[in-house]
Amino acid sequence: MKHHYQLLPEWAAQSGVLITWPHPDSDWGPWLPRVEPVYLELVRHISRRERLLITCRDDAHLAQVRASLSEAALLGDPVTLHRVTSDDTWTRDYGPITVLEQGQPRLLDFTFNGWGGKFDARNDNLATRRLHAAGAFGATPLETVDMVLEGGGIESDGLGTLLTTEQCLLAPTRNPHLSRAHIERRLRALFGLERFLWLQHGHLAGDDTDSHIDTLARFCDPHTIAYIACDDPGDEHYADLQAMEQELRAFRDRDGLAYRLLPLPWPAAKHDESGKRLPASYANFLIINGAVLVPTYEDRADDEALRRLREGFPAREVIGVPCLPLIHQYGSLHCVTMQLPAGIL
């Protein structure tokens, strides 16, 4: 069945990336001295290759961010600041999801309910509409979709295949009135899908998202999937991630062939001050024009993760970005970014 829409893969040409800057009144307050350098590093790498849209909570915050960028010599034409009130900084999950409609980009704005009502997300849910009204996305049309969905919960090969997890998309706290068949039907129409790859296994301790796919397994190209692999039988994740690996081995690409699988190393357990385990995952990378930005965690497995992802992206520069501060709020690099495909900015 042919559809008018096409959900692009992350490696498609991009015009820019959207991020939301942390501020003192958010959960990032105590962590600002450590987390802002992570954001400055993201600006440094992204702005060399494409445009960057940064949302700030109010005029005072915008002025502060502008000063920080100027001090770091990062304030220039590729970087645009917008004043948009937000609750948090996980732009991946409330930013627009882009599809092509007859070859032209179209923004889809799904409902964001704080990962099933875990957190207040009223402002985050309005952020994309407010940005669009302010002209941040130019003349690109925006369609509001009455369905809960987060960008971190889906992976596209660009050829009609969606990789996702049952725990997230079928969570009763998201779309309790929709069955799996109904969800597939809606997403087929909205994204131009032909196939669904549903993972039943895979999770990370400390994760608030109900197993977002972008922490577990990612397409590198239509025939290659990088995934987190736990090799420690004594770790609480071992059995579940072994089961996830077997599911991935059973999947077939659109040509009926087994996927080339790239296991990513397992970092040592990271904990916060209270002893809660933090969700450190090398699968939470961001693909941008000419490069892949990979979260690192001051761990001895960092170098091996970069090496393995270079196998998955031989034509791109693979760059490590220190992200240990990000996981103290239970997300990482991909979670705080949303790519904007070519033609939007």
323 catalytic per annotation: no
Q: What is the SS3 assignment for 172-228?
A: CCCCCCCCHHHHHHHHHHHHCCCEEEEECCCCCCCCCCCCCHHHCEEEEECCEEEEE
Q: Which among 337, 334, 263 has a CA at the least distance from the CA of 305?
A: 263
Q: Given 56, 168, 323, 335, which residue is catalytic?
A: 335
Tokens of 183: 């969800």
CB 10 within 8 A of CB 250: no
**Residues in contact with 337: Cβ distance below 8 Å, sequence separation at least 6, in sequence order:** 17, 18, 19, 42, 91, 92, 286
CA 250 → CA 15, 194, 197, 198, 279, distances in Å? 35, 18, 10, 11, 26
CA 85 → CA 50, 69, 112, distances in Å? 24, 20, 15
Q: Which long-range contacts (CB under 8 A, 24 or more apart) does 249-253 make?
A: 251/197, 251/225, 253/157, 253/161, 253/222, 253/223
The full DSSP string for 150-162 is: -GGG-EE-SSSEE
CB 145 within 8 A of CB 190: yes
Distance CA 292, CA 286 (A): 6
**Residues forming a β-bridge with 294:** 320
The full DSSP string for 234-275 is: TSTTHHHHHHHHHHHHH-B-TTSPBPEEEEEP-PPPEE-TTS
Alpha carbon 139 to its chain centroid, in Å, reads 24
Instruction: Write out the catalytic residue numbers.
Output: 335
